Amino acid sequence: MKKLMIFLQGKTPGPVKALLSFLGIHKFISKLMGKQTAELAFQTAWAKKFRENKHKVLEYWEQYRFLEKIKTIVNFHEDTKVLDVGCGISTVLHFVNGEKYGIDPLAESYKELYDYPDGMNIQKAGGEDIPFADEFFDVVFCSNVIDHVTDPEKVIDHIVRVLKKNGFFILTVELFEKKAQRDAAHPQSLNKTDVMKLLHDQFEVVFEKESPWIGMRRYVRGGIRSKKNELIMTLRRV
């Protein structure tokens, strides 16, 4: 099953892939796979593309996730302690300054697929149990990850715990108009009201913007259209 999913994601000719997408084959296979198996299959197919297209991923962050605006607000420098929750392979840590940490339940598998640059401390851990001391970080990123987790509220609670007072939380969330049954890797479908409930009164909004949800892989392939939006927020812990 894992090999089949990797084949469909990374090796299938374009016209065949389009037909399979139309027939819903990818969604069907994803539902048969476990959560981590589905995620590993995606990242395995994505690793080579990311290595070859880091400039395009940076372009995506700048155009659709407002990275330059975020940098202006946060003022990253070499001593800024930065955490990326659910970092995957193409983590934003590639594109910011600071003392860089990333956590992901599949970190050890990702290290076999991809050589992270020197200076990135990548550890195996989930967002529901972040293995760092209270108020350790100046900045925490969580980029289209909250819909992957089993317990979003617990993830937010841990982010609050490890983030310094007045520290910045950069959250990106794919938005849904109504609840949807997705796949093993995406158990959540959130709207803006859901997101605000998760945040409670623990943050103040510094910057907020909606942007077309294209996805990095689709953007690298040349796609620029999307029927959905994602919410990008820069929040300050109060």
Give the number of other CB atoms < 10 A from CB of residue 79: 9
Contact 229, 213 (CB under 8 A): yes
- Tens digit of each residue's pLDDT (9 = 90 or more) over 37-58: 878 888 999 999 999 999 999 9
As a whole number, mean pLDDT of residues 74-97 equals 97
At residue 55, the 3 state secondary structure works out as: helix
* Closest by CA position to 24, among listed 182, 226, 148, 178: 182
Confidence category of residue 13, pLDDT binned at 50, 70, 90: low
- Tens digit of each residue's pLDDT (9 = 90 or more) over 173-211: 999 877 766 655 566 678 899 999 999 889 999 999 999
For the domain 53-237, what is the CATH superfamily, name and number? Vaccinia Virus protein VP39 (3.40.50.150)
- Give the CB-side neighbour count of residue 170, counting CA atoms within 13 A: 26
pTM of the model as a whole: 0.84
Q: Is the pLDDT of residue 20 over 70?
A: no
CB burial readout 174-187, b (16+ within 10 A) else e: bbbeeeeebbbbbe
Q: Quote the tokens at residue 15.
A: 């016209």
